[in-house]
Amino acid sequence: MATADRRGILAVAILVLLLALAAGVAMVVANAVDTQALGADPGAITPDDQLMAWFARILLVLAVAWLAIGFAAARTSLVRRPGAAAARASWLAATRPWRARESTLGMLSLDRWLLFAVPVALLIATRAVQSSFTGWLRLVVVIGAWTVFALVLRIVVRERSPWPVIAAVGGAVVLRCLLTLIALSVAGPGGYWYAFWEMSVARGAYVTVAFALFLWLFVVAGWSLFAQLGARRGIGAVLCGVGAAVAVPALLVAVVGIERTLTVWDDRAGLLPWGLERIVAVTLQLDIPDATVWWVAAAGVVVLAAGALLTVRRDAVRRPVAS
């Protein structure tokens, strides 16, 4: 069996495992939602939701076009067109991360710029539409966490090319945004949250696929680094990024205070679709101890430390042989 075939089978097996894990998470979410029994009202869908739905449809068309160009460029001479090489690298790295390094070789400056800018712009736009252009606190937290994750990976990669992991993470981000945009394009954020609370089958399917794609992002990030760092150091690099992305926001929330942070979030949520407002309201009613955030930050630091140990080169810690 060829190496590419073995890697493909391994990728499918990992995806099946992630879907199974995500299905378990979906069951936990379903139990939590059913316990709250908030009673969604389809009449809460507003004209603003319809406007957001149109924004989502426009973004959805752009995202599908980007993926379609990448798919076609991987098989035809379309790759010679300006920007097509970036779409090709994004598609290959997200679906076959072991080809991330080769897919980014010889790219022009325009392609590299698009490889980075398209996923970032799509992520920001998707989150903005999801919050009806009002949930800026949530947007700042999300973008801040991704920025920390990217910076840590860049530090670990050091002098090596960062473009393989950028292509892999960017492609996975596009796939994840695509799923969210499909949900938002039906009836906007209001319809999105109505389906979340009241349509158990749709909610279960969405949470399963969404969480699996979220985990797949970290899988492709590490896998794309194997050719440059090796398996152990590639996994360590991703753990460093994840740990830092968890620890830094948690530390900021801990310093500000969880109650104060959630209160600000709740004030913003008053302008958001009713679903998010109720989720935050339930969170405030849980009376989460302040120490919880410190524990989350500590967990992030532990993951960061574990990743740092894995990224250390063996020859760097090997003792010199006595003469």
* Structure confidence by residue, pLDDT tens digits, 193-219: 777 777 778 888 888 999 999 999 999
Question: Is 296's pLDDT higher than 50?
Answer: yes
Within 13 Å of residue 56, how many CA atoms lie on the same side as its CB? 29
pLDDT of residue 276: 40
* Exposure string for 69-95, b = 16+ CB within 10 A, e = fewer: bbbbbbeeebbeeebbbbbbbbbbbbb
Residue with structure tokens 């948690």? 250
25, 205, 235, 296, 298 from 301: Cα distances, Å: 24, 33, 16, 9, 5
| Type of residue at 257 | G
Q: In a 10 Å sphere around its CB, with 0-12 CB exposed, 13-18 middle and 19+ buried, how is residue 139 labelled?
A: middle
To 10 degrees, what angle do helices 109-130 and 47-73 make?
A: 150
* Separation between Cα atoms, residue 184 and residue 291, nearest integer Å: 35
As given in the structure block, the two tokens for residue 177 are 């945004």
Question: Is 114's pLDDT higher than 90?
Answer: yes
For residue range 247-280, list pLDDT tens digits in order. Answer: 888 888 777 776 666 665 544 333 333 344 444 4
* Exposure string for 310-321, b = 16+ CB within 10 A, e = fewer: bbeeeeeeeeee
For residue range 139-174, list pLDDT tens digits in order. Answer: 787 888 889 999 999 888 888 889 999 999 999 999
pLDDT of residue 262: 62
pLDDT of residue 266: 43
Average pLDDT of the segment spanning 222-228:
91
Within 13 Å of residue 9, how many CA atoms lie on the same side as its CB? 6
Looking at the chain, the whole-number percentage of residues with pLDDT higher than 70 is: 81
Q: Which has the closest alpha carbon to 102: 63, 67, 71, 74? A: 74
